Structure 1
Amino acid sequence: MILCDAGPLFALVDNKQSQHVAIKKAVMKFSIPLITTWPCFTEAMYLALCRGGWAMQNQLGKLITNDMLTFYEIQATDYERLFELIKKYQDRPMDLADGTLVIAAESLGINRILTLDSDFFFYLINDSEPFNVINLIQSRGLALLNLYISL
């Protein structure tokens, strides 16, 4: 199982993103569904609306209806830990969406994440385990995509 942040979700549906092809190819090789959280999906939907309108949002929606994407639902019992994480990483700073992905990793026992956010190289699962951030290599030129994007 693989967690998925907002950036790759958006890049999947926006072919103008430099990571579009690499992420699309990689996702085809992953065991699906990818797992995200509603705050991450909300970020991706906002970007899709701003850059491609309803049609791009519809493509994101199809990831759900085609069973390629599922959600970890944040529980009321997760709130205290969520805000503890946001406080701990305030120097980065950690946003709500990133915090929910850390919570999902801790709850599901998953350390693999597809993200364009370099902060996941610093966040720790259960305050001790690093994320296994998935890096993609383009087949032509073997250019390493560090998967950083400014959203």
Structure 2
Amino acid sequence: MPRAAIVDTGPLVALLDASDSAHGWTIRQFRQITGPLLTCEAVVAEALYLLRSLRPAQEKILEWIESGVLVCPFVLAEDAAQVRGLWKKYADVPMSLADACLVRMSEKHDHHHVCTLDRDFTVYRKRGHEPIPLIIPPAA
């Protein structure tokens, strides 16, 4: 079944880096996603940094943003208090800024799954207690 998705750093990097161990899995998952991919600027910054040796991959991310394939609707200034609350709640994980933004996005975009390689998302909860619908590889 097609799914709408919020995308994390790992799948973005894996999709664009054929040497990444999750490349094949990510391609299969992205074929099932409908509509634009939602993300946040923190994820874009992480992905661009991790792809720093692959300039064409970095450019592809920016092209996707320009064309609307990848959309960054999240505005940290509007949700800073909620993000800070998540950061405090999951300080022992620890939670990155990108993860906190994606959890908050999952609260605001209720029908979207979070596509991630990060197993920390199995611990995170939206609205304090609800599991986040995930597109994630099976545990090894």
Q: Same fold (TM over 0.5)?
A: yes
- The count of residues paired between Structure 1 and Structure 2 equals 137
User: Could you give the per-residue CA deviations for residues 88-126 of structure 1, whole angstroms, max 9, x where no partner exists?
Assistant: 000000010000001111122245110011110000001
Corresponding residue for 2:45?
42
Q: Distance in 1 between matches of 2:63 and 2:24?
A: 18
Corresponding residue for 1:23?
26
1:72 aligns with 2:73: yes
Corresponding residue for 1:121?
122
1:104 aligns with 2:105: yes
Contact preservation (8 Å) 2:76, 2:101? no
Structure 1 residue 25 displacement after superposition = 2.4
| Percent identity for Structure 1 against Structure 2 | 31
Runs of 4+ in 1 over 6 A off after TM superposition: none
Secondary structure of the corresponding residue to residue 29 of structure 1: coil
Q: Which consecutive unaligned segments of at least 5 residues does structure 2 have?
A: none
Structure 1 residue 75 displacement after superposition = 4.4
Contact preservation (8 Å) 1:37, 1:73? yes
Corresponding residue for 1:12?
15
Give matches, 1:77-88, under 5 Å. Answer: 77-88=78-89
Q: Give the counterpart letter for 1:37 in structure 2.
A: C
